[in-house]
């Protein structure tokens, strides 16, 4: 087990949680007390991190929510804050990067050297060579999009190739051929429970990052039931439901209670 997955696994066993808190700051939804504050986004996320870390196995900032506002420096500070205060809790940078090899080298440098993330999400469409700059980082985690949580996911991902859906072809290629450093997992949405179940049956030793719980209406308990494996790993991601649980000065406490309630439901699976 590589160092990222080992850290996640140890954190999950200690805290009895699969929960990954997504950090997707939207200026339109920040709590009222932070409106107009110069460090509003950092202060918001810092307080969310402190409130929920006890119940989380990792954090997952989505890069678009920072880059759109020109807040890349805030993203740097957020990741540094987690690493400094909670070194046992790793950070997945949700970036979905991919391009030709030389450009992917730059993306990998961005994710792992600039932002110092512990893991990243990537797109498999361009093939193994485009992902090698990420997967060659043996101590890092790489989550490959497989069956995503969005409503239009099936338009391409469910198309048949060699008598099986494309997402199955992706999973087989990624896990059976590309995973030479044992540091690759799959992104499989909670909104596709039957696909999740099928993938787990075929790949009991794989790690799954499962978004779509909460605001996207994925069933958390079903996702755990179908995605959990004694040999593999499971990470359940929730963002908006936790982040925006409160709109006033008690927002962090409400986020804490939401994360705690989710973790309480998860305990029975340990």
Catalytic residues: 96
Q: Which of 264, 262, 200 is nearest to 233 (CA)?
A: 200
According to DSSP, the residues that pair with 92 across neighbouring strands are: 119
How far is C-alpha 63 from the geometric centre of its chain's CA atoms?
A: 12
Token pair 């705690």: residue: 260
**CA atoms in the 13 A half-sphere facing the CB of 117:** 26
Six token digits for residue 124 = 């498999």
Q: Which of 171, 207, 199 is nearest to 18 (CA)?
A: 207
**CA atoms in the 13 A half-sphere facing the CB of 157:** 21
Sign of CA dihedral 10, 11, 13, 18: negative
Q: Give CA–CA dist 266/20, Å, rounded.
A: 12
């Amino acid at each position: 087990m590589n160092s990222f997955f080992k850290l996640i696994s140890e954190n999950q066993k200690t805290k009895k949680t699969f929960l990954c808190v997504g950090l997707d700051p939207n200026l339109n939804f920040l709590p009222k007390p932070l409106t107009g504050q110069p460090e509003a986004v950092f202060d918001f996320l810092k307080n969310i991190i402190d409130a929920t870390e006890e119940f989380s196995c990792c954090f997952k900032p989505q890069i678009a929510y920072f880059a759109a506002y020109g807040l890349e420096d805030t993203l740097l500070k957020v990741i540094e804050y987690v690493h400094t205060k909670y070194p046992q809790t790793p950070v997945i940078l949700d970036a979905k990067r991919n391009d030709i090899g030389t450009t992917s080298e730059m993306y990998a440098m961005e994710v792992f050297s600039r932002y110092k993330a512990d893991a990243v999400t990537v797109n498999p469409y361009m093939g193994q060579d485009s992902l090698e700059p990420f997967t060659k980082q043996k101590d890092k985690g790489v989550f490959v999009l497989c069956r995503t949580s969005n409503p239009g996911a099936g338009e391409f991902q469910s198309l048949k190739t060699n008598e099986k859906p494309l997402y199955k072809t992706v999973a087989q290629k990624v896990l059976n051929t590309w995973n030479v450093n044992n540091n690759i997992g799959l992104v499989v949405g909670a909104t596709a429970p039957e696909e999740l179940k099928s993938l787990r049956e075929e790949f009991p030793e794989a790690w799954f990052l499962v978004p779509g719980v909460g605001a996207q209406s994925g069933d958390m308990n079903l996702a755990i039931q179908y995605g959990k494996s004694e040999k593999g790993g499971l990470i359940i991601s929730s963002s908006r439901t936790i982040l925006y649980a409160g709109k006033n000065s008690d927002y962090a406490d409400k986020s804490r209670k939401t994360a705690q309630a989710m973790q309480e439901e998860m305990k029975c699976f340990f």
